[in-house]
Amino acid sequence: MLSRRGDSVKKLDNDAFVNMRSGASVLEADSYGDKVLLLADGTIVKLFRRKRWLSSAAWYPYAKRFADNAASLRRLGIRVPEILDLFRIPSIERDAVRYQPLPGRTLREIRREALDAGIEQELKEAFTRFVVSLHDSGVYFRSLHLGNVVYTPDHEFGLIDISDARIVDRPLRKYERARNLKRLQGIEGESEWVDLTSVVDAHRKRREARV
């Protein structure tokens, strides 16, 4: 049986998984198998493999982290996918989350278009402000890159693939802000989409404003 909507992780037997997967498109896969599926009903299933036997994922599955992070980010006013179900699928040794995709396109998709120079610069500046707001809200997102940021039809930014996000109850420190951009800075063609100096200096300006 499929799980009911909620935050608890429910077991999904193989027959139910095969039935759910029927007609699905594979959006992402690796040598271990499927990672992201677009189901026939338009929802997305993200599958998580436990990479090590002795891992925190044994008692805190990545699918549950994804759902918990979605709830925490939504409380901060950040756009994220709507979580529908959490599964444990013993037959393929995977945990999974099913969610309603966030409307819009990723910045990576948008970057590949031939954008008007003025529009591109405006987007870059808006993205830098978004990153600053994340850090000011205590969001440390190691997977921050243009493929994980969605620009919605109502001109807002949202986050996807959020299982490794960490939210603390304080603004990020200066070194945390710099580290948070390390992955993005290493991607050719994407590093220029954020003003590193503005992001890191935002911590100093915030501190000076309190004095």
- The structural domains of the chain, ordered by start, are 10-100 (3.30.200), 105-210 (1.10.510.10)
Helices (H), 62-191: 62-75, 107-111, 117-136, 174-180, 182-185
Q: Residue 6: what pLDDT?
A: 45
Digit-coded pLDDT (tens) for 146-205: 999 999 999 999 999 999 899 999 999 999 999 999 899 899 889 999 998 899 888 776
Cα separation, 150 vs 59, whole angstroms: 30
For the chain, report the end-to-end CA distance as a whole number of angstroms: 58
Digit-coded pLDDT (tens) for 41-94: 999 999 998 765 555 555 688 999 999 999 999 999 999 999 999 999 999 999
Q: Residue 2: what pLDDT?
A: 39
Q: What are the backbone dihedrals phi and psi of residue 107, each rounded to the nearest 5 degrees, phi first? A: -65, -30
Structure tokens at 182: 């390390």
Indicate if the pLDDT at residue 28 is higher than 80: yes
Structure tokens at 40: 């026939």
Give the C-alpha distances (Å, rounded to integers) separating 53 from 12, 13, 58, 59.
Answer: 21, 22, 8, 11
Order the strands of the 44-48 sheet from edge to edge: 10-11, 82-89, 94-100, 44-48, 33-38, 25-30
Q: Residue 3: what pLDDT?
A: 39
Q: What are the backbone dihedrals phi and psi of residue 29, each rounded to the nearest 5 degrees, phi first? A: -155, 160
Q: What is the mean pLDDT of residues 24-42?
A: 94
Q: Residue 13: what pLDDT?
A: 95
Cα separation, 185 vs 210, whole angstroms: 30
50 by Cβ neighbours in 10 Å (0-12 / 13-18 / 19+) ranks as: middle
Per DSSP bridges, beta strands 139-141 and 94-100 are unpaired
Q: Residue 53: what pLDDT?
A: 53
Q: Which of 81, 183, 78, 82 is nearest to 132 (CA)?
A: 78
More confident residue, 108 or 6: 108
Helix (H) or strand (E) holding 18: helix 14-21
Cα separation, 41 vs 28, whole angstroms: 18
Cα separation, 165 vs 67, whole angstroms: 11
Digit-coded pLDDT (tens) for 93-145: 999 999 999 999 999 999 988 788 889 999 999 999 999 999 999 999 988 99
